[in-house]
């Protein structure tokens, strides 16, 4: 799955570019070498993030980055393990894994690239789409309230759950560094731009 490593395939202006750079910077700033880290992604536009970072990586199934990353950490606790998911991937199909990871407090980082829609499948509503937002599946505006991922994580026992924005690059990098250093499950919800489908 490491073919075309250098060919980034996101839309111009996509927040994923900044998230990718922030993860790379955090590894660099903390001096975590490629042999000591594993990046695990699920499925979504940003699923390719694991291909664009030098080091061990796995691109897994939709919503399944957490169980894969948990297995990696249990097999080799010395590794820094960063799982990356998306609002549809992590809060929709993978929600059960997320809640149990908060409860189990296994020492992995979980970054959710939250563009408030299903970008890869061309812009359907997701669990974080705001009320009133027009998407392919909500042409008259979304009528279902989104949930708050941070409140949800904390109610499930998360010891680290924070919000960041892809645009606020310094803050995002600092939060990723904190999350890596946190002893236990560390979740960051990153609000990201999606110029192709997020127009609210």
Question: Which residue's CB is nearer to ligand TPP, number 80 or number 117?
Answer: 117
Angle formed by the axes of helices 169-181 and 16-30, nearest 10°:
50
How many Å apart are CA 149 and CA 146, to the nearest integer?
A: 9
Question: Which residue's CB is nearer to Mg ion, number 115 or number 135?
Answer: 115
Does position 19 bind ligand SF4 by CB under 6 A?
A: no
71, 77, 132, 195: residue in contact with ligand SF4 (rule CB under 6 A) = 195
Write out the H or E segment, with its range, that includes residue 194: none
The distance of closest approach from Cβ of residue 136 to ligand SF4 in the complex, given in angstroms and rounded to an integer, is 12
Q: Which of 68, 136, 139 is nearest to 108 (CA)?
A: 68
Does position 124 bind ligand SF4 by CB under 6 A?
A: no
Does position 46 bind ligand TPP by CB under 6 A?
A: yes
Contact 58, 47 (CB under 8 A): no
The distance of closest approach from Cβ of residue 118 to ligand TPP in the complex, given in angstroms and rounded to an integer, is 4
For the chain, what's the residue count? 200
Contact 117, 127 (CB under 8 A): no
The distance of closest approach from Cβ of residue 11 to ligand SF4 in the complex, given in angstroms and rounded to an integer, is 3
The distance of closest approach from Cβ of residue 92 to ligand TPP in the complex, given in angstroms and rounded to an integer, is 7
Rg from Cα positions in the chain: 16
Give strand pairing partners of 93.
none
Residue 110, both tokens: 């979980």
Residues 101-140 that bind Mg ion (CB under 5 A): 115, 119
- Pattern 63-102, Mg ion, x by CB under 5 A: -----------------------xxx--------------
Does position 119 bind ligand TPP by CB under 6 A?
A: yes
Q: What is the dihedral of CA 24, 28, 30, 31, to 10 degrees?
A: 130
Give residues in contact with ligand TPP (CB under 6 A).
43-46, 62, 86-89, 113, 115, 117-121, 126
Give residues in contact with ligand SF4 (CB under 6 A).
10-11, 14, 16, 45, 115, 119, 194-197
């Amino acid at each position: 799955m490491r073919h075309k490593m250098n060919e980034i395939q996101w839309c111009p202006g996509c927040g994923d570019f900044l998230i990718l750079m922030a993860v790379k910077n955090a590894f660099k700033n903390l001096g975590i070498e490629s042999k000591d880290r594993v990046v695990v992604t699920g499925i979504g536009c940003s699923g390719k993030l694991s291909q664009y970072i030098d080091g061990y990586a796995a691109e897994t199934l939709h919503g399944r980055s957490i169980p894969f990353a948990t297995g990696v950490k249990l097999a080799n606790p010395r590794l820094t393990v960063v799982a990356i998911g998306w609002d549809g991937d992590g809060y929709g199909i993978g929600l059960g894994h997320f809640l149990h990871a908060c409860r189990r407090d296994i020492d992995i980082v979980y970054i959710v690239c939250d563009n408030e829609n299903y970008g890869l499948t061309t812009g359907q509503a997701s669990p974080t789409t705001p009320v009133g937002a027009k998407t392919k599946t909500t042409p008259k505006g979304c009528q279902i309230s989104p949930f708050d991922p941070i409140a949800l994580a904390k109610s499930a026992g998360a010891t680290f759950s924070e919000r960041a924005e892809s645009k606020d690059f310094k803050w995002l990098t600092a939060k990723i560094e904190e999350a890596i250093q946190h002893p236990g499950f560390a979740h960051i919800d990153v609000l990201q731009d999606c110029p192709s489908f997020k127009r609210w």
